[in-house]
């Protein structure tokens, strides 16, 4: 049976996906407008929110990365619901020992030759065909490091293809980092390079920002908590356990998904409540 | 850091989830209204759409199950966007050798004591706290089998907890069925029992119906194609390969996810296009 023979259904499927993406962007912008003002005085809110995501945890491997991210005060998302594709992430930092920038801004733009969405909301083939961050061009950001000693990307460079660069006795658990061979290096390489082997940009825009408070509480769909089986139902009264994950001082990261059966994964898909309110 | 201490964000998170669920139900109903009339004359549309989902494939283990499902002409979803929780699935069958019912209707209702959603759209705690199909009560459906010889649930019963019931030499690959020990038995047990160990109801309402044409083309998020690495990008010009999966005459099912690294999974999350139109 040829699939092409029965191509009766698109572009309705593509239209549906565009409407869904627009809805999610609109909701995410409203959610962040509501959330950001409420969490801006919570010490370490964005550090914990970020490193509770398994992919961010995998690249935030040094204590210095975590320390530098503890100065992150706000993440601002600039995005347009009508043309939901390009976006900008503005990371606002407090005065800190590492760099003098107050904002690190990472932009994802449409490649040259790609038309912007019509302002009247018309759905074009280019909107229907959009595949996500992988279709965009990522900017690089110059970080004004205060000294070589504080230059985290120089101290923790990315070492590709088995070129492990660990000191003797240092813990090494990079073999499972999503198929990436080598040392992923500092989180701040996300800003300085366009390359994004662990798809941090995708994790931020698709997972973390639409559901930041859930990640802060370690119950996001791709949070470390979820991997360790701390589903929302199990969380009630389990704050101590959650805290151990969030405030983990060992910095050891285990990317193994311990719940690898299909039904358990499904359970986390629905937009759902029971958040202990 | 106590999560409770910073419970500043709900119920906005719950409200967001309710709005999202309402949006998805509305879109799914419109999508199905559009799709169903276009596919009703495509031979085997719903059979292929169903068995391309990995969880349905796991319980459609006999050739007779597949043959009986080949008479499935339409799936009708009855659901209300305002109270997005309860729903009914009406499976419309053509005249067939197995049973005399023309409709098998499976209902998921709110448990006794749960209030229906206010008609004016007000978001209640019960709506915010809804966790999905697991919070509903599933009906059972009496199937009027035409003879004992055609009674598929009697011929292929569910055998729980290692009580394997295979004839000698018969293939046995149930160990990986989502942690369920034993033989899952006929797909039609989904109608006759309220128990749903592989969460077929959840797969239908959350995965298959909102994206039925993608499952028909074996490119749904939980399709067999996705598991074998046939992402939409790889599909172009690969119709033969797709057909082999869909029309597989061996009936052997492999539930192993061969792409178990995080980034690959992420790629399938976004509502996206490139459907070969």
List the beta bridge partners of residue A182. Answer: A160
Query: What ipTM was estimated for this complex?
Result: 0.71
Two tokens, residue B43: 């031979």
- Any chain B CB within 8 A of the CB of A163? no
Residue A161's pLDDT is 66
B148: closest CA of chain A, how far (Å): 32
Rounded CA separation A253/A57 (Å): 7
B267: Cβ–Cβ under 8 A, 6 or more apart, which residues? A132, A134, A199, A202, B231
Q: Do A273 and B14 touch (CB under 8 A)?
A: yes
Rounded CA separation B151/B128 (Å): 42
Q: What percent of chain A has pLDDT over 90?
A: 61
Q: Determine which of A43-47, A221-225, B211-215 has the lowest per-residue pLDDT on average.
A: A221-225
Helices B12-39 and A12-39, interaxial angle, to 10°? 180
- Return the residue of B nearest to A232 by Cα: B131
Candidates B7, B34, B239; nearest CB to A12: B34
List the beta bridge partners of residue A138. Answer: A108
**pLDDT classification of B98: cutoffs 50, 70, 90:** very high
- Any chain A CB within 8 A of the CB of B273? yes
- Any chain B CB within 8 A of the CB of A237? no
Two tokens, residue B9: 């964000």
The predicted-structure confidence for B117-138, as pLDDT tens digits, reads as follows 999 999 999 999 999 999 999 9
Judge whether residue B161 has pLDDT over 90: no
Domains and CATH numbers, chain A: 11-267 (3.30.1120.90)
A169: Cβ–Cβ under 8 A, 6 or more apart, which residues? none
Candidates B34, B48, B131; nearest CB to A274: B131
Two tokens, residue B63: 């050739």
Residue A73's pLDDT is 96
Rounded CA separation A223/A218 (Å): 6
Residue A7's pLDDT is 53
Please name which of A261, A59, A62, A51 lies closest in space to residue A177, comparing C-alpha atoms.
A59
Candidates B38, B48, B266; nearest CB to A202: B266
Average of per-residue pLDDT across B231-237: 39
Q: Is the pLDDT higher at A189 or at B272?
A: A189
DSSP label of B260 = -
CA distances from B125 to A54, B17, B20, B67, B255 (A): 30, 12, 15, 45, 37
Judge whether residue B263 has pLDDT over 80: no
DSSP label of A250 = S
Judge whether residue A212 has pLDDT over 80: yes
The predicted-structure confidence for B17-51, as pLDDT tens digits, reads as follows 999 999 999 999 999 999 999 998 899 999 999 99
- The residue whose two tokens read 């979803």 is B77
**pLDDT classification of B10: cutoffs 50, 70, 90:** low
Q: What is the dihedral of CA B48, B201, A262, B249, to 10 degrees?
A: -20
Q: Are B7 and A277 in contact (CB under 8 A)?
A: yes
Q: Do A27 and B19 touch (CB under 8 A)?
A: yes
Q: Is the pLDDT higher at A166 or at A245?
A: A166
Q: What percent of chain B has pLDDT over 70?
A: 70
φ/ψ of residue B65, rounded to 5: -55, -50
Rounded CA separation B38/A134 (Å): 33
Contacting B residues, span 57-116, partner chain A, CB-CB under 8 Å:
none
Residue A40's pLDDT is 87
CB count, 10 Å around CB of A38? Answer: 14
Q: Do A21 and B132 touch (CB under 8 A)?
A: no
The predicted-structure confidence for A17-26, as pLDDT tens digits, reads as follows 999 999 999 9
Residue A183's pLDDT is 82
B119: closest CA of chain A, how far (Å): 20
Average of per-residue pLDDT across A67-81: 97
Q: Is the pLDDT higher at A166 or at A247?
A: A166
Our measurement of the distance from residue A122's CA atom to the centroid of its chain's CA atoms, rounded to an integer in Å, reads 30
Rounded CA separation B52/A218 (Å): 33
Q: Which helix (H) or strand (E) holds A262?
A: helix A262-267
For the ranges A9-13, A255-259, A266-270, B268-272, the one whose mean pLDDT is highest: A9-13
- Any chain B CB within 8 A of the CB of A258? no
Q: Determine which of A94-98, B211-215, B253-257 has the lowest per-residue pLDDT on average.
A: B253-257
Judge whether residue A257 has pLDDT over 60: no
């Amino acid at each position: 049976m040829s699939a092409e023979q029965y191509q009766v259904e698109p572009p309705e499927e593509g239209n549906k996906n565009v409407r869904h993406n627009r809805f999610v962007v609109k909701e995410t912008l409203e959610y962040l407008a509501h959330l950001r003002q409420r969490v801006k005085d919570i010490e370490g809110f964005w550090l914990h929110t970020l490193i509770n995501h398994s992919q961010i945890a995998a690249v935030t491997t040094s204590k210095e990365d975590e320390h530098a991210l503890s100065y992150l005060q706000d993440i601002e998302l600039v995005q347009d619901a009508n043309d939901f594709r390009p976006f900008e992430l503005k990371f606002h930092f407090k005065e800190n020992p590492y760099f003098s920038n107050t904002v690190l801004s990472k932009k994802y733009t449409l490649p040259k030759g790609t038309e912007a969405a019509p302002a009247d909301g018309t759905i074009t083939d280019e909107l229907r065909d959009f595949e996500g961050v992988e279709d965009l061009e990522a900017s690089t950001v110059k970080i004004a490091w205060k000294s070589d000693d504080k230059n985290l990307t120089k101290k923790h460079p990315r070492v590709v293809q088995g070129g492990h660069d660990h000191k003797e006795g240092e813990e090494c658990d990079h073999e499972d980092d999503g198929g990436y061979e080598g040392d992923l290096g500092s989180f701040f390489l996300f800003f300085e390079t366009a390359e994004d082997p662990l798809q941090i940009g995708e994790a931020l825009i698709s997972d973390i920002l639409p559901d930041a408070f859930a990640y802060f509480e370690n119950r996001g769909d791709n949070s470390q908590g979820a991997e360790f089986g701390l589903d929302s139902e199990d969380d009630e009264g389990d704050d101590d356990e959650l805290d151990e994950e969030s405030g983990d001082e060992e910095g050891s990261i285990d990317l193994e998904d311990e719940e690898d059966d299909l039904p358990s994964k499904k359970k986390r898909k629905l937009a759902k409540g029971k958040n202990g309110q």
